[in-house]
Amino acid sequence: MTSENPLAHSKHVFRAALLLLAVVVALILGRLFFVPETWGEYGFYRGAAVGEHRAEPVRFGGDEACEPCHDAEYAEHAAGVHAPVRCELCHGPVALHADLEEGEKLAEMPVRRGRELCELCHRAQAARPASFPQIDVREHVLENGGEVTPDACFDCHDPHSPY
Ligand code: HEC
Ligand code: HEC
Ligand code: HEC
Ligand code: HEC
């Protein structure tokens, strides 16, 4: 046991090094195959995603998109306290309802006649700014001599111009 080759026991070091090399090669190959081509082009995301999002069709048109076909609602709304609330916020995106180029109706536009629509913004909540008009629904309706029904708000308020 005296004249032993000093390298005799280094075999497992070489094996470990070989394994490490294999892992590194696998990582490099994996990156080559799985990391998208345009990754990092502009930042820490896939560069091509920008173009893909830009190519999506535009679905919202703003209040002006409704005016040519609903001038009465448009005028009433623009002159009232709900002017800052976009038509499409209460209804839906114009693209689902009308073809703006052909100027024709494509499908029904949602009309939500329940009071949940109004409560979404006006139900009293401590987290809302105190300056925003908010009500305790039950108290408010009874106080004004109304009945608490699923569409109570519409008995007294017009959604397009509530006052
Ligand atoms: C605060 C929410 C809200 C906003 C903002 C709003 N609407 Fe409405 N809209 C309603 C509700 C609710 C009804 C149903 C009213 C009813 O049944 O008395 C309605 C009804 C309508 C109707 C008639 C449908 C029917 O069957 O009576 C049209 C047309 C319409 N809205 C267009 C518009 C346009 C155009 C705008 C923007 C200029 C707009 N709305 C903004 C909530 C809203
Ligand atoms: C190219 C014309 C056109 C445009 C633009 C248009 N509408 Fe309409 N809309 C119609 C027609 C036609 C009807 C059915 C007749 C009616 O109620 O006046 C209708 C009906 C509606 C109705 C009643 C429910 C229904 O589908 O019948 C609502 C609510 C409505 N539109 C909201 C809107 C809103 C909000 C916009 C804008 C985001 C808009 N519309 C843009 C043509 C249009
Ligand atoms: C998307 C949010 C939103 C929805 C939904 C909404 N409102 Fe409003 N409402 C507003 C905003 C914003 C104002 C303007 C607040 C201001 O002037 O500070 C307003 C103002 C009002 C006012 C006048 C309050 C005042 O003291 O000036 C009334 C009344 C009202 N809304 C009733 C309703 C009714 C009824 C509905 C349901 C048909 C409704 N709102 C749905 C956002 C909303
Ligand atoms: C019976 C009639 C009646 C009904 C129903 C009714 N309101 Fe009112 N609402 C009024 C009157 C009148 C006022 C103005 C006096 C006041 O502030 O109470 C008013 C005021 C408001 C205000 C402004 C409050 C403020 O502090 O500035 C909001 C917001 C409002 N209503 C939302 C609603 C909502 C949402 C509903 C449905 C849950 C509803 N109202 C149902 C009659 C009614």
Determine the residue type at 95: A
Nearest CA to ligand 3 atom 43: 121
Closest ligand (CA of 157): 3
Say if residue 40 is in the same domain as residue 83: no
CB 77 within 8 A of CB 160: yes
Nearest CA to ligand 1 atom 12: 113
Q: Residue 92 sits in which domain range?
A: 58-111
Is residue 156, in this structure, part of any structural domain at all?
Answer: yes
Say if residue 80 is in the same domain as residue 50: no
Closest ligand (CA of 137): 4
Is residue 71, in this structure, part of any structural domain at all?
Answer: yes
User: Which residue of 135, 149, 154 sits with most ligand 4 atoms within 8 Å of its CB, as the best mutation to test the pocket?
Assistant: 135
pLDDT mean by block of 10 residues, the chain; 163 residues = 72 93 97 93 95 95 97 97 97 96 95 95 96 97 96 96 93
Distance, in Å, from the CA atom of 135 to the CA atom of 123, rounded to the nearest integer, reads: 5
Half-sphere exposure of 90 (CA within 13 A, CB side): 20
CB 89 within 8 A of CB 82: no
Is residue 1, in this structure, part of any structural domain at all?
Answer: no
**Structure token pair of residue 60:** 């919202």
Predicted TM-score (pTM) of this structure = 0.88
Distance of CA 146 to the CA centre of its chain: 36
